[in-house]
Amino acid sequence: MPLSSDCALLVIDAQNGFMPGGGLPVAQGDAIVPVINRMAPLFENAVLTQDWHPASHVSFAANHPGRQPFDVIELPYGPQVLWPTHCVQGTPDAALHPQLHVPQAQLILRKGCRPQVDSYSAFTEADRAATTGLAAWLHARGIRHLYLCGLATDYCVAWSALDARAAGFAVTVVEDACRAIDLNGSLARAWADMNAAGVQRASSQSLLAG
Q: At 85, phi and psi to the nearest 5?
A: -60, 130
- Which of 9, 73, 17 has the alpha carbon at shortest distance from 41? 9
Element spanning 165, H or E:
helix 158-166
Task: Give DSSP secondary structure letters for the chain.
Answer: -PPPTTEEEEEE--BGGGSTTSSSPPTTGGGHHHHHHHHGGG-SEEEEEEE-B-TT-TTBGGGSTT--TT-EEEETTEEEE-B-S--BTTSGGGSBPTT---TT--EEEEE--STT----SSSB-TTSS-B-SHHHHHHHTT--EEEEEEE-IIIIIHHHHHHHHHTT-EEEEEEEEEE----SSHHHHHHHHHHHTT-EEE-HHHHHT-
Catalytic residue IDs? 13, 111, 156
Collapsed DSSP state (helix, strand, coil) of residue 178: strand
